[in-house]
Amino acid sequence: MWHAVKTLNAHNGYVCALIAKVARYSVSAALRKESVALVYKSHGDPMQVLKLQKLNLPALGDSEVLIKMLAAPINPADINMVQGTYAVLPELPAVGGNEGVGQVLEVGGHVTSFRPGDWVIPRDAGLGTWRKELVLKEHALLRVPSDIPLACAATLSVNPCTAIRMLSDFENLQPGNSVIQNAANSGVGQAVIQIAATKGIKTINVVRNRPNFQTLTEYLQSLGADYVITEESLRKPEMKDIFKNIPHPRLALNCVGGKSATEMLRHLQHGGTMVTYGGMAKQPVTAPVSSLIFKNVKLCGFWMTQWKRDHEHEMGELNEMISSLCSLIRQGKLKAPAYTEVPITDYKTALENAMKPFSSSKQILVM
Ligand SMILES: NC(=O)c1ccc[n+]([C@@H]2O[C@H](COP(=O)([O-])OP(=O)(O)OC[C@H]3O[C@@H](n4cnc5c(N)ncnc54)[C@H](OP(=O)(O)O)[C@@H]3O)[C@@H](O)[C@H]2O)c1
């Protein structure tokens, strides 16, 4: 699954060194007080290798912030990181989790951007968010408003950002244009549906068939989905009926790979783009020769972590993206993905549910 992502990571060495630095820092022996964290000392099955344990908190430096984590989701990339199959891996032992929201408890003498009580999210991946408290550098954090729902803040920095970038950066989509995506019930997929709806972009949403397909369809439609179809329908002639009402998509968003990606490609407009951002089926992407020659479709990849690093020095763009997402949240146009809150002490249940197929519910650890 991560082969495609690995090829995107041009700065692997740099990234690993960065994450390793953070991991070492987090388990520093410079005692301040203790935190509790989900730690793994070796890679493997998350159910086996993750353990809840006490960690020493380092003393608060002048440019540092003490944070109480409030909530942190379990995303597929977090699982892959613990398994040791992700493109970037922290030095071990490490704390699991890459995103989440925390509240500032205390700031160092030179900190100017945050005050106690502020809500903050990590700017980058690899900080280890599955813990109760942690100390981070001021520049590793972004403030988010504390009047948005906790679950929205906890799941803001990865999936909605990925959705908005993919809808903006590859094709110049106009109201009335259409987008097709698979794994449409994923966290990213739900954000794509809602953000596209705010722009008047039509969405064709592909999901795996399941006994409660109708309920899932109604849920995705309540978010703004125009069409919800199964993987099987994607290959059927009835697809033509959809294109009597809306144009063929200019953009396909591929989270799955394998047959699903191949079939989406067949429906793209001439010159359209398929962006691969996940590989849930663990199958390579196969492009029909006819789509390449006669339709000149473009195949691209996207990795949010890389985008953030590429825009590290353009704070404006990142802040602008976060604030426009928060504005959609405030207007009720962007909800958190369907989720279940689980106390961190019950992490095994959360992990088990996060790794189950057809669960359609993001597991969010609450601290
Ligand atoms: N490149 C990036 O920057 C970026 C950013 C965010 C996320 N991602 C990736 O995007 C993917 C989704 O992340 P998420 O947080 O949105 O996930 P999520 O909410 O946990 O949803 C997982 C999705 O994958 C589907 N799925 C699982 N196994 C599948 C299989 N074998 N075949 C087809 N579909 C399958 C699930 O469908 P069912 O309900 O049918 O099980 C569900 O729609 C992950 O691979 C993640 O790492 C990439």
Q: Of all residues in the chain, what percent carry a pLDDT higher than 90?
A: 87
Length of the chain: 367
pLDDT digits (tens, 9 = 90+) for 192-250: 999 999 999 999 999 999 999 999 999 999 999 999 999 999 999 999 999 999 999 99
Please count the CA atoms within 13 angstroms of the CA of 49 that sit on its side-chain side.
18
Q: Are residues 119 and 252 in the same domain?
A: no
Question: What distance in angstroms lies between residue 358's CA and the mean position of ligand 1's atoms?
Answer: 11
Mean pLDDT, rounded, of the chain? 91
Domain-located, residue 8: no
Q: Are residues 291 and 165 in the same domain?
A: yes
Quick one: average pLDDT of 91-119?
97
What residue's CA is closest to ligand 1, atom 23? 186
Quick one: average pLDDT of 345-363?
96
Catalytic residue, chosen from 40, 86, 227, 347, is 86
> In sequence order, what are the beta bridge partners of 252?
180, 274
Instruction: Please indicate whether residue 256, judged by its CB atom, sits closer than 6 Å to ligand 1.
Output: yes
Q: Are residues 106 and 29 in the same domain?
A: yes
| Nearest atom (ligand 1) to Cα of 208 | 40
Q: Are residues 144 and 22 in the same domain?
A: yes
Is residue 328 pLDDT above 80, yes or no?
A: yes
CATH number for the domain spanning 281: value is: 3.40.50.720
Cβ-based neighbours of 12, under 8 Å, separated by 6 or more? 6, 87, 88
At 358, which amino acid appears?
F
Q: Are residues 165 and 232 in the same domain?
A: yes
Rounded Cα distance, 185 and 164, in Å:
16
Is residue 9 pLDDT above 80, yes or no?
A: no
- Among candidate residues 256, 287, 305, the one where a domain is terminated: 305
Is residue 14 pLDDT above 70, yes or no?
A: no
Q: Are residues 174 and 299 in the same domain?
A: yes
Question: What distance in angstroms lies between residue 56's CA and the mean position of ligand 1's atoms?
Answer: 34
CATH number for the domain spanning 347: value is: 3.90.180.10
> Model confidence at 2, in pLDDT bands (50, 70, 90)?
very low
pLDDT on residue 32: 55
Instruction: Please indicate whether residue 98, judged by its CB atom, sits closer than 6 Å to ligand 1.
Output: no
Q: Are residues 79 and 210 in the same domain?
A: no
pLDDT on residue 315: 74
Write the burial class of residue 90 (CB in 10 Å: 0-12 exposed, 13-18 middle, 19+ buried). buried
pLDDT on residue 294: 96
> Considering Cα of 26, then 28, then 29, then 30, what sign does the dihedral take?
negative
Regarding beta strands 119-122 and 64-73, do their DSSP bridges make them parallel or antiparallel, or are they unpaired? unpaired
Is residue 27 pLDDT above 50, yes or no?
A: no
Quick one: average pLDDT of 64-87?
97
> Model confidence at 24, in pLDDT bands (50, 70, 90)?
very low
- Among candidate residues 286, 305, 324, the one where a domain is terminated: 305
Q: Of all residues in the chain, what percent carry a pLDDT higher than 70?
A: 91
pLDDT digits (tens, 9 = 90+) for 40-58: 999 999 999 999 999 999 9
Instruction: Please indicate whether residue 275, judged by its CB atom, sits closer than 6 Å to ligand 1.
Output: no
> Model confidence at 112, in pLDDT bands (50, 70, 90)?
very high
Is residue 13 pLDDT above 60, yes or no?
A: no
pLDDT digits (tens, 9 = 90+) for 277-317: 999 999 999 999 999 999 999 999 999 999 999 998 777 89
Quick one: average pLDDT of 249-270?
98
Q: Are residues 53 and 86 in the same domain?
A: yes
**227 carries an active-site annotation:** no
pLDDT on residue 28: 38
Q: Are residues 60 and 112 in the same domain?
A: yes
Domain of residue 191 covers: 159-305
Domain-located, residue 4: no
Q: Are residues 60 and 185 in the same domain?
A: no
Question: What distance in angstroms lies between residue 282's CA and the mean position of ligand 1's atoms?
Answer: 11
Instruction: Please indicate whether residue 258, judged by its CB atom, sits closer than 6 Å to ligand 1.
Output: no
